[in-house]
Amino acid sequence: MKIAILSRNSNLYSTRRLLEAAIEHGHETAIIDHLACNIEIEQKGPSIYYKDQYLEGYNAVIPRIGASVTFYGTAVVRQFEMMNVFTAANSRGIVHSRDKLRCLQVLSKEGIGLPKTVFTNYSRNVEHVVQSAGGVPVILKLLEGTQGLGVVLAENKNAAQSVLEAFNGLKARVIVQEFIKEAKGADIRAFVVDGEVVGAMKRQGKPGEFRSNLHRGGTSLNIELSVEEKYTAILAAKALGLGVAGVDLLQSARGPLVLEVNSSPGLQGIEKATGVDIAGKIITYIEKNVRH
Per-residue pLDDT of 130-180, as tens digits, reads 888 888 899 998 876 555 567 888 988 888 888 888 887 887 888 899 999
Three-class SS of residue 34?
Answer: helix
Residue 111: inside a domain: no
Per-residue pLDDT of 239-273, as tens digits, reads 999 999 999 999 999 999 999 999 999 999 999 99
pLDDT of residue 194: 96
Number of domains observed in the structure of the chain = 3
Specify the CATH number for the domain of residue 71. 3.40.50.20
Torsion of CA 13, 14, 20, 23, to 10 degrees: -150
**What is the Cα–Cα distance from 19 to 4, expressed in whole angstroms?**
9
Q: Verify that 194 and 284 share a domain, yes or no.
A: yes
Q: Verify that 206 and 283 share a domain, yes or no.
A: yes
- Strand 219-222, strand 244-252: pairing: unpaired
| Domain-terminating residue out of 126, 159, 179 | 179
Residue 104: inside a domain: no
What's the domain range around 157? 117-179
Specify the CATH number for the domain of residue 173. 3.30.1490.20
Specify the CATH number for the domain of residue 211. 3.30.470.20
Per-residue pLDDT of 176-232, as tens digits, reads 999 998 888 899 999 999 999 999 999 887 665 555 555 555 678 999 999 999 999
Residue 101: inside a domain: no
Q: Verify that 202 and 264 share a domain, yes or no.
A: yes
Q: Verify that 222 and 151 share a domain, yes or no.
A: no
**What is the Cα–Cα distance from 213 to 204, expressed in whole angstroms?**
8
Supply φ then ψ for residue 234, to 5 degrees: -65, -40
Q: Verify that 170 and 188 share a domain, yes or no.
A: no
Per-residue pLDDT of 64-120, as tens digits, reads 999 889 999 999 999 999 999 999 999 999 999 988 889 999 999 999 999 999 988
